Each structure stands twice: as C-alpha cells, then as structure tokens.
Amino acid sequence: MLDGLFKPRSVAIIGASKNPYSIGHIVIKNLADYGFKGPIFPINPKGGNIRSFRCYKSVLEVPDEIDLVNISIRADLLPHVIKECGEKGVKFLIVHSAGFKEVGEEGIKREREMVELANSYGMRVFGPNSQGIQNADPEVSVYANFTFVPMNPGNVSIVAQGGGMGEMLKLHLYNVGLGHRMYASYGNECDLSMPEILDYYGQDEGTRVIMMQTESFKNPEVFLDVASRITPNKPILAIKAGRTREGSVAVSSHTGTLVDQAAMATAMYRKAGVVEFHDTHQMIKAAIAFSTQEPPTGKRIGMITNTGGPGIQAVDEAIESGLTLAKWSDKGKKRLEETQYAEASLGNPVDVVATAGPDHYFAAMDTLLKEDGTDMLLVFFVTAPFVDLDAIAARIKEAYSSSPKPVVVVIETRELWYGLINSLREGGIPVYEFAEDGARALAAMAKYAELRDRKKESPPELKVDRAAAEAIVKRYEGKDAYIPQREAFELLGAYGIPVPKVVEVKGKSDLDAAAKEVGFPCVLKVDSADVIHKSDEGGVILNIADEKQLAGAFDEIQSRFSGKKATFIVMEQKPAGEEIIIGATASPGLGSLVMFGLGGVFVEVMKDVIVALAPLSKPEAREMMQGIKGYPVLEGVRGKGVDLDAVEDLLLRVSRLAADFPNITEMDLNPIFAYPAGMAPMAVDVRLKIS
Amino acid sequence: MLDGLFKPRSVAIIGASKNPYSIGHIVIKNLADYGFKGPIFPINPKGGNIRSFRCYKSVLEVPDEIDLVNISIRADLLPHVIKECGEKGVKFLIVHSAGFKEVGEEGIKREREMVELANSYGMRVFGPNSQGIQNADPEVSVYANFTFVPMNPGNVSIVAQGGGMGEMLKLHLYNVGLGHRMYASYGNECDLSMPEILDYYGQDEGTRVIMMQTESFKNPEVFLDVASRITPNKPILAIKAGRTREGSVAVSSHTGTLVDQAAMATAMYRKAGVVEFHDTHQMIKAAIAFSTQEPPTGKRIGMITNTGGPGIQAVDEAIESGLTLAKWSDKGKKRLEETQYAEASLGNPVDVVATAGPDHYFAAMDTLLKEDGTDMLLVFFVTAPFVDLDAIAARIKEAYSSSPKPVVVVIETRELWYGLINSLREGGIPVYEFAEDGARALAAMAKYAELRDRKKESPPELKVDRAAAEAIVKRYEGKDAYIPQREAFELLGAYGIPVPKVVEVKGKSDLDAAAKEVGFPCVLKVDSADVIHKSDEGGVILNIADEKQLAGAFDEIQSRFSGKKATFIVMEQKPAGEEIIIGATASPGLGSLVMFGLGGVFVEVMKDVIVALAPLSKPEAREMMQGIKGYPVLEGVRGKGVDLDAVEDLLLRVSRLAADFPNITEMDLNPIFAYPAGMAPMAVDVRLKIS
C-alpha cells in the first residue's frame, strides 16, 4: 500500500533551504501553500527556521513519526541521510536528486546501493531524478513536489515518467477548472514502480480517470496485469513518448533505454483496454469528458448545431475517429419538425439555425437523447447576438441532466460570455472550443467502451506436440542463431502449423529419395544461416518439374553457394495463394510480440501491420486480422476471400509456439499462402532464431 | 475592384431597427463601436433615430453618396429597396436576408432576379444569406457584419463560406492577440464571388496570410487561377468542409450542392500551392506562425527544450508532419558543449535541463540558428521555479531577432506568468501551449515553402494524333455511354499511350485473321457497355495458345453472353507487370481530374490514390507518382522497379487526352502493366465514357 506516500501523516524535507529557488524550499512552500494536513519538518544541519517552520538538524531529532521524506541533496550525500531515515522508521523517500542511472555506470551503482540500503530498513524509494507526488484529496492535500501548477481537487489521477509532461497534463486540467486527484512523476523508477502507482490509483475511490505518460516500460508484464485489472472499472488514457524512429532515439538519449518500445506499448494498451493517444492535448480533452461522463454504449453520434460549418467539421472528424452518424426514428423526425424552425435542417447534424432559442435547443437535445439509435450527443452553440444565451445554456443543462448518455458542448464565444462555459461545466458538461475536439473526445469515450466491452477469452487449448518442439528448441538453445529450415518447418509442424513437405539433401545422391518424398513440382532451396535473402541471392529454384530438372537445378545451386557453408532442401511446391506474413519477436520482460500483415509490399511499403502479445485468444487473433487496413483482401474483394478461420487458427498456433518457447527470439513465416475456405493456409518459408 | 465593399466611404443599413437583437441594429452598433471612418445611415421608413444615428426613410433621402448597403429585410421586400439603391448609385449590397437558393426553386428564381436587378444598375450583390464583411485597417475600420468577435487590426485576411467557421477563425486570432485584416463570409455567393474576394486580399498590402473555408466551389477554374497568382507572394491556408462521404452529405444538405468536391479541392490546392488543413484549430495555429514569420528554406528542424517529455512529443510530431531533424556541425556541437550544463543533452532536441538560465537558452538558440543545417527552430520552455523567467524570455527574443529563420516557442506555464507569453508575442514570436502545435505550425510553413518553390513547368507539347482522336470522340458525342473497347484502345493509341494490338471479331470466321494480326498467346474479351466487370462475369479468357483454343474460347464466351448485345475482341496478351491504374473524371467547371494509383487492392482497399488536374506538367506527373504511399513499389523494393520516365509519360498523355476532350467524362486505364526500364508500360484494359 502506498498510503505512506500519497496520504503521509507527516513530511520531512532533507535539503530544506532558505534559498527560494531551491527544490527543498519550494517543496516546503508548496506543502504549506496547499494546506498539507500533517506537520512539515524541514531538515537542515544548520538548524534555524525556513519560512515559518522550525528546522531539525536530522530526521532523528524530529519528535514525531515521519511517513514521507523529500530529498534534494547531492547524490553522494544520500547514504548517510537514508540511513538516518531508516533508523527513524520513515516509510517513503522521494528522491529529487539527479546523478543516478541517467549519468552512466557510476550512477547505476549508486542507485542500486541506495535501493538496497533503503529496502534494508523497509523503506521504499520514489525516483531518483523525480519530481514528486501530489494528492489533492482535501483530507490530505499533499503537494510534495517542486512544480508550479496549482492543486485543485479533481477526479483525474496522473502518472507520468516525464516531469514536464506530467505538469502539462495537470496544467490543462487546471486551466479548464477541473483540477486533478493524485499525481506522480517518478523519474528513474529505481524501486517504487509505475505499475504500483497505477494499481493504487485503480483502488482509489476518488479517481475516476487515469492519465499516464511513459517513456519506457521497466516491467511491462506487471503493467499489463495491473492495467488490465483497472480498465474494466475506470479508463486509462495513455501516451507513449517516441512513436517514430526519431522519437524513440530521443527517448533513449533521455532515459538511457535503447529498445524501441512503441509497438510493444501499442500491443499492451490494446490488450489491457488502455486508450492510446499520440497528441497531448487530445488526451487531456478526452480526460475532461471522461471525468464527468459515462462512456456511450455504442458508436452512433447525434449532433446539434446552430451554424452549418462547424457541424460539418464535427461530422468529418467523428467519421474519421470511427464513429457513425445516428439516424432519427420517424417519431424523432416528427418531433423535430414540430419543434424547430421551418428553415432548420433536420438531418444529422440538426441545424437549429442561429436564431434558435432555448426551447429549440431543448427540444432538439431532448428528442435526440431519447432516440434509441443515438448513443451520444455533440451540441454546438455559437453565441449569436440575437438570442437569450443564458436561457439556452440553462436549457442545455436541463436536457443533459435528464439523460445518462454522454453530451459534449462546443461553444464559440468571446470572453464576455465565458460565464456560459463555466455554467455548463458546473453542470457537469465538458465544453470545448472546436467542433473537432468535441467529436474526438466522444470518439475516445466510445473507444474505451468498445475495448472494455469486447469479448474476452483465454488463449485456447491447442493440440500441439510440445515435446517434439522442445526437442528441436533444446538442440539450438544458447546458440543465438537461425536454425536450419528443415527443422524450423518441423518445429512449426509440431504446433499444427501447415507446412510443405521438406527433405534435406546433402548431395546429389539424395535427390531421388527426396523427390519421391515431396513429389513434383518441387522447389530446391539453399539452407544456410549465412543466406538471409534466399530469393535475391538465387537460393530458391521453383517449378522443378521432373528428376532431370532437379538434378540440373542442384548443380546450379551447389555451384552458386560453393563458397558458403550451405546445405539444401527439396520442398513440395504449393500453389500461390493470398500472401500473409506472421512474425514473432521476443519482447524482453513481456514474452513475445506477434506481428500480422499481408505479404510483400503491404508490410514493407504500406507498413500495414498489427502487433499483439503472445499467446493470443481467439477474439484477439480475429481483432488482429480485422485490424489491418488490408483486411478486405482477406475477406475477399469481389468474392476471392481466404479461409478466415484457418488464418485465425494459424495465428493462434504461431502465438502459442512463441509463448511456449521464449528463447525463439525471432520467427518469420513469410510468405504464408492463404487459400479459399476449406484449404489450410501454408507457411512456405520460415526464418527462426533461437537464443 | 472591391474598394466600395472593403473601403466604403459610407454605409447605409436597410432593416435598421431599434430592436437590439435585430441584425440591422447589431450592424449599426458594430460599425459605430469599432469606429467606422465614414458616416452611418440607418434606413427605416418610420424615420426617427437608432442609437445616436438619425434614420432616413429611404436611401434616396440620404444627402451623401453611399458606397455600401447592408440589407436584412425580408427576401420578398428586396426588389423595391434594391431599385432605390440602384437609383442612388450604391456600389455594393451586402444581403444578410435568407430565403434564397437554400430554400429551393422559388428562392433560386428570387436570387437570380435580385442579381439581374442589381447588376442592371451596376451594383454587385454580396450574399445573400451572408454574414457580411470587415476591414480592420485603421484607415477604414468597417465592421459591416452582425457578429460578436472584436475587431483588432492584424495581417491575416479571412474568407469563409460558412459564417460560423469564419467567426471561429477570427475568434482564435483575437484570442491570441493577433486580430485580423479583412474578413468576408459570403453565404450564397450569388454574384460577388469568393475568387474576387481572394484576389482583392491578394493585392492588399496589409494582408500577409489568407485563411479560407469553403463548402463548395462555384467557379473552381477562377479560384484556381486567382489562388495560383497569390501563393507565390503570400500563403493561403484552406479548409474544405466535407472530406468524408458523410461530411459531404452534410455539406450538400447545408448548401444545396450535390457533388462531392473534396478530391477536387485537394487537387486544386496542390496545383495552386494552397496549404490544406482538416482541423480548424491547426489551421489557425499555422496562420499565427505565418503572420509573423518568414517560411523556412528547408525542412530541417532544430529543437531546444528544458524538459525531456515535450521535446519527444515535438520530435514525433515533426517527423509525422514531414520535417526532418537537423544535425549539428562540429563547430555547433563544440559551442553547445562549452555553453551548456554538463547534464544537458546535446542531440536534437538540445535539452538544456530545467535549471538552464538566460545564457543557456541564448547560447543554444544562437548556436542552432547559425547552423547551416538548421532551417527552423522550436523552443520549449517550462517555467521552472528556480530560474529567472523574464531574463530567459528576453534572451529568447534577442536570439530570435538576430536570425531570419522561423522560430516558434512553446511555453508551459500558469496564468501568473502569462506576461511572458505576451512579451514573446510582442517580439513577433508565435507562442503555443503544446509542443505538438509548435511542430505542426513549423511543418505547415515548410509545406508552404515547398509548394511555392517547387519546379513549375507548362504541360509539355506531346506528339499526338489529335485528329484521329477527335474522329472517334465525335462518333460518340452526346451519347453519354461507354464506347467499344476497340475504339477506346484506338483513342489511347492516337495519344501515344501504348496499348496491345486489338481486333474486333464479330463471328467465328473473323478469328483466323484476328489471330494472325495479334499473334499468340492472345486474349479473348467481351466488349459490351452492359458488362462492367468483365473478368468477374467470365468475359475475359486469357492465355489462348493457338487457333484451336481460340475457337473453343470463342464458343464458350459467345454462349455466355448470348443474351446480351455484345461483340468480342481478340487482343495481344502482354506479360504481367507491376499494375498501375490511371483514371480521369470530368470535373464540372474545371476540366478533368486525373487519378493515379497502384493496381488492385492498393486502390480499392488501401485507397492509396492521388488526384490532380489535367493537363499535367512533368513535375506534376512526377509529384503524383511520388505522392502515393506505394511509390517504393514503383521505384523498386529490392531492385524490381519500373520505368518511371515511361510511367510519367503515360500520365502526361492520359491527362492531355482528358484535357483535350472534356466530353470524355470517365476514363479508366485499369490495369496498366508497367515494366522495368526500357519497356513501355501497357494499358491492357480500358473503360471510356463520352458524353
């Protein structure tokens, strides 16, 4: 439990200073300014006082118990004070000080020793190189952090690896009058971890929404577990820094991690039901909606506007964000006709026109909210100078309060009438400045509901020959190399993945037996760890029709690779089908990531791939297939589809194989030929690495 | 010239009323409140006064000349007052009144008659169903419009079809202290047209940037011409309502136009060098940058931040928006090392760290601005509580003022320090709240510069047999039908588009001669206007190897289409190549749109197509090819590219054919087989409609 951190009974500040620009001073000021409910103990060897607080020379001098200590002294001075904290029985240390992991070898060692020392006393370390925590719960009101955004109580809790990003999230909630609940910017994450904080937020009754920003995942598996337990009850909105190659380089130079974790993050978010964002402001705007509204039960948006243009922007954005336009029932249409001006436009959006008054707005909203076919409502309201604005706002609130469906309002107005915005916000309605923002916020809520309510299953039991697979994997364990193709195919076969017949040929004398085994037409391939792009290097000869051609092909290929350590295989030739690629990559700390895409240029040029965590459940496998843009190719454009169930089964088996043997660090089934219903897809080439 | 509209010497208001909620009243109030430099004449048959202005019973009673009249009386009362205006010698009428085109037949007639009447007196009509105009030029200061956004002088001029959208654009310039220059929201565009307004803005020295919003283009060709003349000197930023199918339906129900003009708009914008946006706020944020900065001369962005996370967001967004990361020279690196803290990160972004002071910021900015490899700069600045914020802002301004390169600043701060924002803005620096916004604004400037500076050529002279083509087109003129394939191929051939040999066969007796002409292998195809998807309906038989197979195929295909009015063709069979699709569609008022994409699923599923206006110049054709996501397929993934020059030539020829014969309303060359360098691509199927 992190009560000692987020609900400390008392806080001591080591590094307390009279210098108003020092972290130690600012933390004291923040704690005092925001009315921390417990005592504040500045620690300074010189004694005296800081602001109105008496200083103690050491925590050991403090007469009361101390739950939390903020430390901002030089890194090399820490062991001594940590020891004292331990003796004092402190529970949590927030280490602001830098000079640890981020400065290299020596810092890593210092960090490890610090954790060991603290843990030996039962203390937990938050940070180092961290900003601190806040809890705006009025019962506690702890601002143990050196930043500047005012702390107003709200129901959005924030956990951010980067301090600047965390502060940004707080700032813009504050700017719209929402405030936040708990806050943590955890820096180096040496001991107390992000998932622990997330878990604590998940259990906090005052937290309705969680926003998180991450640069790297220290323990992805634990994050996945914690997030998956939270999202059925409350939304987690997430931004992962470094989604481009360039961005991930910037992350690694900032945090010292080297692996690009963007694909992994996306896969984890999807699996855990976390809503992912790429734009900071969009995430904040979505949080604003989540903080007061229940997510919609479907994707059908209704819109009302009193001016055309922004309504169209809302339509365009809603559609691009995955929503659909609601249609009105006959009853609804009739009521709109009866209640709106003749010049109003009664489609979706309903354009009540600029002269619409309070009753027009109310009737339009009330009608749409009562429509079974409308799951959510966007109301646009330009403050036209000929109508009673306050009365319109009041009637909007009235209509809103009678319905459980989410409603967002977009107001176009000048500062003169900002009171309207406040009035609507006080009524629990999220208010935005642009139609696009309203549409995106609703779409984010619909996305959350869709993730939360989707079908969930365990990965299925599959009939596989695990022992046979294990025998092959064991043979190559520790070698960190591509294994021969024949055995790679055998490994796939053991997991029920359809593969062509393959026979190894060492010399010309093996050809006849091989041909007898696989039949004609057949394929002759080089099989060597040194030859990565077999086709490009002339290592694949297709369409071999008979013994004579096979012998000729063998001479040719043997001479071509005479310099290399190569063996060869003869392989059954399968008819071409729709090309699919399935891959798997070890993802340290998380097992394996499975990749799915259509063959060739779809993956290489169009980057149309989707990544998920192994092992897959059936709904997850299906979601992957449906998630690529090229899915209609599999379904069949003009009736030439493939056996979707068989492709799903293949995905399940590959993912199970990857999950069962984490030391399969790389696996590429490329291409797989998929065929029409009734014919099993066939993995005709494979590259497989075992570490 | 529109001086009488935008620089009227006097304004009369017909429909002037004491009712403060009436348009007539609000216009008078706005004119007065914002200090119109000429006299204001309220017109009201009852006489008296409105506010402090004496009313006249008719414009004819007004003692002075009148340039501009705002009219807001009922539509059916207009003819009488328009006549009086005409007699008075009024120059421009702004018609706010609704009840015209947007209400159907009767309104269309009323609108036409109004224009005729006004024009007969030499008057121009702005509107109807319009909001009005503004000119914030202090010499004029005319707010002849009934809306509410305060008018501050600025250098961004706005033209918006939708009033709500126009007001939105003004509002958010006002909100950041920028104001605007001229403004027009033109509603039904019955007489005075958007391109005329645009042209006027183009010639206005006080206008540095133009923002436009359009729902439909009444005269696209004129727009294209005007916009093309403006963009070499000043940027035009544009948003087109209705980019989704649903959005375009919303547009048509709002404006009464039925054609989806989104693709046409995109093609026009690209050709004219207009920067297109989909998001209202993003366009405004870009305008803010353009209004004070010169566009960059390249795409290389440098970044400076004092906190890591937002810097990474900026990197991700910059890359996704098409910018590249600048690299520092050795000299630059050295100066950064010498001037920054040891813990600073000196890559791109330069992270000067939160404790960085004024000198650190200045040195980092000055270094980067002096780098030849840096075209623009994004500076992120979180107001850390330990540094001298005012001094940092001052030094940022100092560094900025010494360089012609564009600089945007992103500030993360609370209201306490909003003075910093104002100070930077007064220094001519665009300031944003989110790193992503700064990156996007710079990317928009780079995009403008790229469009402005790209190579421009006239469509080339091509050797074509126009007479032969004309003979075929004439044969089908007025029929509005698909023409027989044989003749379609002939038409393509006349324009030098490589096509296979094709011979029509009417009966079995024609087969031998046909085979002799085209050779084997050949293809037998049905040729009928009734058969749209020939392959799917069994109307194409490939790989016919000899006379016997051809005879058999003919029996088969003849019986298959026995019920339909069909003829048949025998066609040379070409080896399969990389599939390309080129299409052309008549675009009323604009000639033809040419479409380019890769074959099959790339177009149908991935929607990876690009559209441009015919006829194409060479750089335009090349830009189309390079503009599709699948371009690497043409270039060659692992060395299998196609003859790019030949594909370009094909595009030029198709576009020329479409341009030369506007009654070719539809043309689909699908597929075209493209081959490696040296082999001409071949259009192996064509569908062509002539109206």
Q: B50-80, pLDDT tens digit by residue?
A: 999 999 999 999 999 999 999 999 999 999 9
DSSP B103-144: G-HHHHHHHHHHHHHHHHTT-EEE-SS--EEEE--TTT-EEE
Residues of B in contact with A440 (CB under 8 A): none
pLDDT band at A254 (very low <50, low <70, confident <90, very high): very low
pLDDT at B476: 95
User: How many Å apart are CA B441 and CA B430, to the nearest integer?
Assistant: 9
Do B434 and B410 sit in the same domain of this protein? yes
Q: Residue A101 is part of a domain; what is its CATH number?
A: 3.40.50.720
Interface with A, mutate which of B312, B348, B581 (most A CBs under 10 A): B312
Nearest to A278 among B316, B351, B536 (CB): B316
- Measured in residues, chain B has a length of 691
Instruction: Say which CATH number the domain at B661 has.
Output: 3.30.470.20
Whether residue A247 has pLDDT greater than 70: yes
Domain-terminating residue out of A291, A311, A338: A291
- Which residue's structure tokens are 């916004």? B437
State whether A315 and B280 contact (CB < 8 Å): no
Q: Examine the pLDDT at A346 and tell me if it is beyond 60.
A: yes
Summarize pLDDT for A208-244 with one digit per residue, the tens.
999 999 998 999 999 999 999 999 999 999 999 988 8
Instruction: Determine the pLDDT at residue A258.
Output: 35
Residue B472 pLDDT more than 70?
Answer: yes
Q: Which amino acid is at A355?
A: T
Same domain membership, residue A245 and residue A181: yes
The answer on A300 and A254 residing in a single domain is: no
- Distance to chain A for B4, nearest Cα, Å: 27
Residues of chain B positioned with their CB less than 8 A from the CB of A434: 168, 279-281
Which of chain A's residues have a Cβ under 8 Å away from the Cβ of B416? 148
Distances (CA, A) of A318 to A300, A453, B247, B317: 10, 21, 9, 22
Distance CA A425, CA A174 (A): 13
- DSSP, collapsed to helix, strand or coil, labels residue B561 as coil
Same domain, yes or no, for B203 and B257? yes
Asked if A433 and A301 sit in the same domain, the reply is yes
For residue B148, the chain A residue with the least C-alpha distance is A385
pLDDT value at A279 more than 50:
yes
Q: Is B510 exposed, middle or buried (0-12, 13-18, 19+ CB in 10 A)?
A: middle
- Choose among A246, A281, A382: nearest Cβ to B436: A281
Measure CB to CB from residue A385 to each of B148, B278, B436 and give the nearest one.
B148
Structure tokens at B273: 């060098």
Contacting residues of B for A413, CB less than 8 Å apart: 148, 171
Q: Does B275 reside within a domain?
A: yes
Which CATH number is B228's domain given? 3.40.50.261
Whether the Cβ atoms of residue A90 and residue A71 lie closer than 8 Å to each other: no
Let me know the angle formed at the C-alpha of B167 by B166 and B169, rounded to the nearest 5 degrees: 65
Of the residues B129, B316, B410, the best mutation for testing chain A's interface (the one with the most A CB atoms within 10 Å of its CB) is B316
CB-CB neighbors (< 8 A) of B347 in chain A: 249-250, 253
Is A605–B630 a contact, with Cβ atoms under 8 angstroms apart? Answer: yes
Which pLDDT score, from 0 to 100, does residue A363 have? Answer: 98
Query: Is the Cβ pair A250, B312 closer than 8 Å?
Result: yes
Separation between Cα atoms, residue B12 and residue A236, nearest integer Å: 58
Contact: A163, B278; criterion CB under 8 Å = no
| Single residue among B72, B96, B128 that ends a domain in this structure | B128
- Is there a single domain that holds both residue B370 and residue B406? yes
How is the beta sheet containing B567-572 ordered, strand by strand?
B502-505, B567-572, B522-527, B540-544
Tell me if A202 is assigned to some domain. Answer: yes
Continuous segment of H or E residues that includes residue B688: strand B686-690
Closest-approach residue (CA) in chain A for B440: A279
- Measured between CA atoms, the residue of chain B closest to residue A175 is B414
Question: Which residues from chain B sit within 8 angstroms of residue A160, using beta carbons?
Answer: 309
Q: What is the rounded CA–CA span in Å between residue B191 and residue A463? A: 75
Query: Which residues span the domain enclosing B626?
Result: 578-690
Residues of A in Cβ contact (< 8 Å) with B310: 162, 164-165, 168, 280
Contact A363, A393 (CB under 8 A): no
For residue B244, which residues of chain A lie inside 8 Å, CB to CB? 315-316, 319-320
pLDDT of residue B640: 75
Start-to-end CA span in chain B (Å): 38
CB–CB of A316 and B247 under 8 A? yes
A81 and A4 in a common domain: yes
A287 with A318, same domain? Answer: no
CB < 8 Å to B316, chain A: 241-244, 246-247, 278
Instruction: Please tell me whether residues A328 and A360 are part of one structural domain.
Output: yes
Helix (H), strand (E) at residue B22: none
Same domain, A182 and A231: yes
Nearest-by-Cβ selection for A629 from B319, B536, B605: B605
Q: Is the pLDDT of residue A535 over 80?
A: no
| B463 in any annotated domain | no
Q: Which of A143, A312, A537 to mutate to test the interface with B (most CBs of B within 10 A)?
A: A312
Residue A358 lies in a domain: yes
Q: What is the pTM of this model?
A: 0.94
CA B439 vs CA A420, B273, B292: distances in Å: 33, 21, 16
Q: Given B453, B483, B514, which residue is the final one in a domain?
A: B453
Task: Give the other-Cβ count within 10 Å of A629's Cβ.
Answer: 19
Strands A522-527 and A540-544: antiparallel
Q: Shortest CB distance from B414 goes to which of A171, A213, A254?
A: A171
ipTM strictly over 0.95? Answer: no
Q: How distant is the alpha carbon of residue B672 from its chain centre?
A: 29
Six-digit token pair at B623? 């830009």
A343 CB neighbours in chain B (<8 A) are 98, 102-103
* Same domain, residue pair B302 and B287: no
Question: For residue B460, is it within any domain?
Answer: no
Examine the pLDDT at A582 and tell me if it is beyond 90: yes
Q: What is the pLDDT of residues B135-180, one digit of tens each?
A: 999 999 999 999 999 999 999 999 999 999 999 999 999 999 999 9
Q: Where are the beta strands (DSSP E) in A573-630?
A: 578-586, 592-598, 609-613
Chain A residue numbers touching B281 (CB-CB < 8 A) = 433-434, 436-437
Q: How many CB atoms lie within 10 A of CB A558?
A: 16
Size of interface A-B (CB pairs under 8 A): 264
Please indicate whether, in this complex, the C-beta atoms of B164 and A308 are within 8 angstroms of each other: yes
Whether residue A244 and residue B320 make contact (CB cut-off 8 A), yes or no, is yes
> Alpha-carbon distance A617 to A623, whole Å?
10
Cα–Cα distance between B414 and B449 in angstroms, integer? Answer: 34
A261/chain B closest Cα distance in angstroms: 14
Give the list of residues 6+ apart from residue A449 with CB closer than 8 angstroms, or none: A295, A296, A297
Q: How confident is the model at residue A639 (pLDDT cuts 50, 70, 90)?
A: low
Nearest to A309 among B150, B164, B604 (CB): B164
> Which of A642-656, B175-189, B276-290, B519-533 is least confident?
B519-533
How far is Cα B435 from Cα B311, in angstroms, rounded to an integer? Answer: 7
- For range A460-471, the mean pLDDT: 97
Pairing outcome for strands A49-50 and A40-43: unpaired
Are B31 and B6 in contact, with CB atoms under 8 Å apart?
no
Cβ–Cβ gap B413/A278 under 8 Å: no
Residue B471: inside a domain? no
CB neighbour class for B462 (10 Å; exposed up to 12, middle 13-18, buried from 19): middle
Flag if A279 and B347 touch (Cβ within 8 Å). no
Chain B: closest CA distance from residue A503 (Å)? 29
Number of domains chain B is built from: 5
B634 in Cβ contact with B626 (< 8 Å) = no
The closest of B169, B94, B106, B165 to B133, measured between CA atoms, is B94
Contact call for B281 and A414, based on CB within 8 A: no
Mean pLDDT of chain A: 93
Residues of chain B found within 8 Å of residue A150, distances taken between Cβ atoms = 414
- Look at residue B13 in the predicted model and tell me its pLDDT: 98
Quick check: B259 pLDDT over 50? Answer: no
* Cα(A554)–Cα(A567) distance, integer angstroms: 11
Tell me what the mean pLDDT of segment A511-532 comes to: 88
Is B575 in contact with B606 (CB distance < 8 Å)? no
Distance CA A26, CA A46 (A): 18
Q: Which amino acid is at B290?
A: F
Nearest to A317 by CA among B167, B278, B168: B278
Q: Is residue A93 part of a domain?
A: yes
Same domain, B312 and B427: yes
What phi and psi, each to the nearest 5 degrees, are found at residue A106? -60, -40
Minimum mean pLDDT range among A139-143, A650-654, B560-564: B560-564
Task: Give the gyration radius of chain B's Cα atoms.
Answer: 31
Interface contact A161-B309, CB threshold 8 A: yes
3-state secondary structure of B668: strand
Instruction: Work out the mean pLDDT of chain B and round it to a whole number.
Output: 93
Quote the CA–CA distance of B324 and B302 in Å, as a whole number. 9
CA distance B506 to B515: 13
Q: Can you give the pLDDT at residue A538? A: 82
Say yes or no for a CB contact (<8 Å) between B313 and A280.
yes
Q: How far is CA A439 from the centre of its chain?
A: 21
Q: Does position A509 have pLDDT exceeding 50, yes or no?
A: yes
Q: What's the CA gap between B343 and A130, in Å, rounded?
A: 15
Nearest CA in chain A to B628: A606
> In A, which residues are within 8 Å of B605 by CB distance?
629-630, 632-633, 637
Which residue's structure tokens are 């029929």?
B479
Tokens of A368: 């749409």
Task: Specify if B53 maps to a domain.
Answer: yes
